[in-house]
């Protein structure tokens, strides 16, 4: 606390909820911060019921929205949607992505109006259904030719597996959805779909989807999706069948669904296995208006975690100002993992992460040094919310406070801290 009594950056915002923390309703799975600093929450107490809740700037249910701050979205029928991602649109509406279950044959994207009603001009009655069977089994099998010991074959059943990410282009309103598919035992592949603004398949994007090539003898984990200008960035890592990370990657695709060969090394940036056996994975990618890229995640040897952070130029080259052009590995806390990141006024980088029973935030300067005005040492711990992890990108309010969604599903919180 400063001499004037005003709490410093990196401390919980006492004007939000209970000491900076709001306990969210059962089933809350995704949040966004609105232009007026209100918070919208998407989820539902049970499958087939999609609920929106809006919080005031103080963290209380907003009585001007729906019934006491809550809207149960009508018209969903028996759709068993489990929300994975929500995006606030510039027109005041929302895009929500979800699926039937962790392992399923369908993904859903619905578009809502500002009042929580389904936007009937999108897809069919406000919803688009993406079927795993839309992916050619021949394509999926062919992609596995890179995997040692796998015998490519056709007519194989394809299903979606685990979570997904979504991004929207400000240039042309196209919608990108990344997902995992599971066509063979033990090997997970990645796919990115592209929809037009009205929800129709964008066939100009390689027929509507691209499979992420398996460049190493391992499966893929897609953790991030971000629009950069007229292209889309896909990040994550190649992982062993056991789920252990191996090599981190970031790829850029153009509007045709082809790798942008002007980015990185023929379309790809690789964070390879280090000489000391260090492996990495990218969990979050955010871009600045000029195309500068922040990629964050975790790194370390087997059984060890350190925060991973790097800054790339718009063309995928390592930025020489940030940490002398090298990835930064943060170990100011034990077993640290960076889960999300956000640009603050285009001049500082805020990352949030977890470790052994704690949740932390740190702020970095553009040269890679910790900003010591944040938390008094460049980083801060959240109190009273141990054991919960940020499950999506952090959100910056118009007055530069940071809101982070902690946990997922049945037990979660929204936390706001001064920045």
Dihedrals φ, ψ of 137, to 5°? -60, -30
Cα–Cα distance list, 349 to 283, 288, 310 (Å): 15, 11, 10
CA–CA gap between residue 155 and residue 152 (Å, rounded) = 10
pTM above 0.85, yes or no: yes
Task: Evaluate whether residue 137 is within a structural domain.
Answer: yes
CA–CA gap between residue 253 and residue 174 (Å, rounded) = 13
Task: Evaluate whether residue 9 is within a structural domain.
Answer: no
pLDDT at residue 1, rounded to an integer: 38
**What DSSP string describes 221-290?**
EEEEEEEETTEEEEEEEEE-TTS-EEEEEEEEE-TTSSB-TTTTBTTEEEEPPPTTS-EEEEEEEEE-TT
What is the span of the domain harbouring residue 143? 21-417
pLDDT at residue 390, rounded to an integer: 55
Task: Evaluate whether residue 12 is within a structural domain.
Answer: no
Task: Evaluate whether residue 13 is within a structural domain.
Answer: no
**Among residues 330, 335, 326, which one has the least CA distance to residue 379?**
330
CA–CA gap between residue 86 and residue 258 (Å, rounded) = 26
User: What CATH number did the domain enclosing 376 receive?
Assistant: 2.130.10.10
Task: Evaluate whether residue 321 is within a structural domain.
Answer: yes
Sites in the chain below the pLDDT cut of 50: 1-5, 144-154
**Among residues 215, 207, 92, which one has the least CA distance to residue 144?**
215
CA–CA gap between residue 160 and residue 375 (Å, rounded) = 41
pLDDT at residue 46, rounded to an integer: 63
CA–CA gap between residue 386 and residue 335 (Å, rounded) = 14
CA–CA gap between residue 415 and residue 281 (Å, rounded) = 25
Cβ of 276: how many Cβ atoms within 10 Å?
7
pLDDT at residue 4, rounded to an integer: 39
The number of residues making up the chain comes to 419
Task: Evaluate whether residue 16 is within a structural domain.
Answer: no
**How many domains, the chain?**
1
Could you tell me which residues are beta bridge partners of residue 385? none
pLDDT at residue 406, rounded to an integer: 82
pLDDT at residue 246, rounded to an integer: 87
Decide: 177 and 217 in contact? Cβ < 8 Å. no
């Amino acid at each position: 606390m400063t001499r004037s009594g005003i709490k410093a950056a990196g401390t919980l915002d006492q004007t939000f909820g209970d000491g900076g923390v709001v306990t969210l309703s059962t089933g809350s799975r995704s949040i966004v911060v609105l232009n007026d600093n209100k918070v919208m929450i998407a989820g539902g107490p049970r499958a087939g019921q999609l609920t929106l809740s809006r919080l005031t700037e103080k963290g209380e249910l907003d009585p001007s929205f729906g019934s006491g701050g809550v809207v149960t979205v009508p018209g969903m029928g028996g759709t068993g949607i489990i929300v994975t991602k929500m995006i606030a649109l510039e027109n005041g509406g929302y895009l929500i992505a979800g699926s039937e279950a962790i392992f399923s044959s369908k993904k859903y994207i619905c578009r809502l109006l500002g009042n929580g009603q389904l936007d009937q001009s999108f897809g069919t009655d406000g919803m688009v259904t993406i079927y795993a069977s839309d992916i050619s089994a021949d394509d999926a099998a062919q992609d596995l030719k890179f995997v040692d010991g796998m015998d490519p074959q056709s007519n194989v059943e394809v299903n979606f597996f685990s979570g997904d990410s979504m991004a929207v282009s400000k240039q042309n309103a196209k919608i990108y959805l990344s997902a995992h598919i599971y066509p063979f035992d033990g090997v997970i592949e990645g796919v990115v779909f592209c929809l037009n603004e009205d929800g129709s398949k964008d066939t100009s994007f390689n027929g509507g989807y691209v499979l992420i090539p398996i460049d190493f003898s391992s499966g893929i984990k897609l953790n991030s999706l971000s629009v950069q200008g007229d292209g889309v960035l896909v990040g994550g890592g190649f992982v062993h069948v056991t789920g252990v990370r191996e090599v981190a990657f970031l790829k850029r695709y153009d509007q045709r669904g082809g790798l942008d060969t002007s980015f990185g090394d023929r379309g790809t940036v690789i964070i390879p296995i280090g000489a000391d056996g260090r492996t990495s994975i990218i969990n979050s990618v955010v871009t600045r208006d000029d195309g500068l890229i922040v990629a964050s995640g975790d790194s370390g040897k087997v059984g060890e975690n350190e925060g991973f952070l790097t800054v790339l130029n718009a063309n995928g080259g390592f930025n020489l100002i940030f940490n002398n052009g090298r990835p930064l590995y943060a170990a100011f806390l034990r077993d640290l993992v960076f889960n999300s990141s956000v640009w603050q006024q285009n001049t500082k980088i805020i990352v949030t992460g977890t470790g052994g029973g704690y949740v932390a935030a740190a702020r970095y300067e553009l040269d890679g040094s910790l900003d010591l005005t944040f938390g008094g040492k460049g980083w801060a711990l959240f109190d009273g919310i141990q054991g919960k992890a940020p499950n999506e990108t952090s959100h910056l309010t118009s007055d530069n406070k940071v809101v982070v969604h902690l946990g997922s599903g049945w037990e979660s919180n929204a936390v706001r801290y001064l920045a």
